[in-house]
């Protein structure tokens, strides 16, 4: 049975993908090409530098390492401007109720996100205090589907992975959770998340 829970951020707790999209699209425009929402799907759950690499490939743009650092910084500055406006109203349905319920049952709660802006986002959404641990892009070196982020989450909660459940919206995240030895609840479409133990459309489905 579940003693600990580990949540992905984007797509599970909040839809930050739309702000990542706006920031990447602005960068692409400056570089002289169009970046679409369909392109953006490829960046979900992917680290900042890997996202940039994919974006440059889509645009057929060559850039030196130094130029890429500069572009990533510029994208992040734009992104941070958007997420500075975040507030509680952008929590996905059921999030606060579900997390509060877990706390009342004494279940540990951790975040397992690729984002380096995760702490700031939790603060903006006013849910930072609900988390016992935050494992984010600053603390991991290997991206999902590598299990590192979730193994570190279990470790921070001082629990064996077999007692932890991961909540994920991306296929790579579901794989990472399974590879860590955790139970996995997929959030989204069953076709994409078939490796999960259970798939729901949102945390709201788990709140009764």
Work out whether 148 is an interface residue with ligand G16 (CB under 6 A). no
**Contacted by 177, from Mg ion, ligand G16, none: CB < 5 to 8 Å by type:** none
Tokens of 151: 């193994």
What's the closest the beta carbon of residue 70 comes to Mg ion, in angstroms? 26
Instruction: Kindly tell me which of 118 and 164 has the beta carbon lying closer to Mg ion.
Output: 118
Count of helices and strands (H, E) across the chain: 8, 6
Applying CB under 5 A, among 4, 5, 11, 40 the residue interacting with Mg ion is 11
CA distance linking residue 165 with residue 168, whole number of Å: 10
Instruction: Kindly tell me which of 74 and 119 has the beta carbon lying closer to Mg ion.
Output: 119
DSSP string covering 160-183? -GGGEEEEESSHHHHHHHHHHT-E
**Contacted by 5, from ligand G16, Mg ion, none: CB < 5 to 8 Å by type:** none
Work out whether 115 is an interface residue with ligand G16 (CB under 6 A). yes
Work out whether 10 is an interface residue with Mg ion (CB under 5 A). yes
**Contacted by 175, from ligand G16, Mg ion, none: CB < 5 to 8 Å by type:** none
* Contact (Cβ atoms closer than 8 angstroms) between residue 52 and residue 163: no
Instruction: Kindly tell me which of 49 and 70 has the beta carbon lying closer to Mg ion.
Output: 49
Work out whether 147 is an interface residue with ligand G16 (CB under 6 A). no
CA distance linking residue 59 with residue 82, whole number of Å: 24
Cα distances (angstroms) measured from residue 136 to each of 64, 72, 109, 116, 198? 27, 18, 14, 6, 24
Residues that bind ligand G16 (CB under 6 A): 8-11, 20, 43-48, 51, 76, 113-117, 137
């Amino acid at each position: 049975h579940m003693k600990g829970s580990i949540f992905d951020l984007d797509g599970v707790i909040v839809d930050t993908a739309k702000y990542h999209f706006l920031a990447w699209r602005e960068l692409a425009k400056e570089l002289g090409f169009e970046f679409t929402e369909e392109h953006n799907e490829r960046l979900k759950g992917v680290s900042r530098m890997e996202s940039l690499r994919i974006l440059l490939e889509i645009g057929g743009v060559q850039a030196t390492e130094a130029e890429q650092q500069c572009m990533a910084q510029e994208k992040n500055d734009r992104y941070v401007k958007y997420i500075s406006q975040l507030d509680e109203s952008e929590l996905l349905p059921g999030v606060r109720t579900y997390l509060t319920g877990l706390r009342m049952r004494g279940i540990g709660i951790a975040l397992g996100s690729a984002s380096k802006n995760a702490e700031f986002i939790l603060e903006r959404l006013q849910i930072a205090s609900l988390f016992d641990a935050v494992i984010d892009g600053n603390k991991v070196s290997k991206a999902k589907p590598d299990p590192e982020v979730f193994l570190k989450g279990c470790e921070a909660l001082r629990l064996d992975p077999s007692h932890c459940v991961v909540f994920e919206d991306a296929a790579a995240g579901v794989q990472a959770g399974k590879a860590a030895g955790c139970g996995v609840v997929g959030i989204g479409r069953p076709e994409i998340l078939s490796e999960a133990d259970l798939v729901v459309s949102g945390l709201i489905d788990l709140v009764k």
